[in-house]
Amino acid sequence: MATKVKDLEIFTFDQIKDEFIGEIGSTKRIKYEQELQLDVLGDMIKTVRLERNLTQEELGKLIGVQRAQISKLENNNSNFTVETILKVFGAMKAKVNFNVELMTNSQ
């Protein structure tokens, strides 16, 4: 529910997402959330790479791919496998944890 402050309606971020992207559980919302998570993953790859003082080319050589592939991973411009993600973080000596959350049918 929106709140009024001096004739200005204020909405929560969840309300905005519900209105413009779709409610939780809808196909459009699920796709949005998945893409958001992939963007975060790409940012994490870049952050760790920079912390390790590696160029994209150097990281690519460590896992056997071209610099362009690392760029695509960091910018979420490519489909990639869990195996690739594990190789990338493994080459940078970073531990990867995956969390799986089971949703009930009502969600």
For each of the domains in the chain, give its residue range(s) and CATH number, in order of start.
3-91 (1.10.260.40)
> pTM for this one?
0.67
45 band by pLDDT with thresholds 50, 70 and 90? very high
62 band by pLDDT with thresholds 50, 70 and 90? very high
Give the pLDDT confidence score for residue 105 in this predicted structure. Answer: 67
Give me the DSSP letters along 51-103. Answer: HTT--HHHHHHHHT--HHHHHHHHTT-S---HHHHHHHHHHTT--------PP
2 has a pLDDT exceeding 70: no
**92 or 22: whose pLDDT is higher?**
92
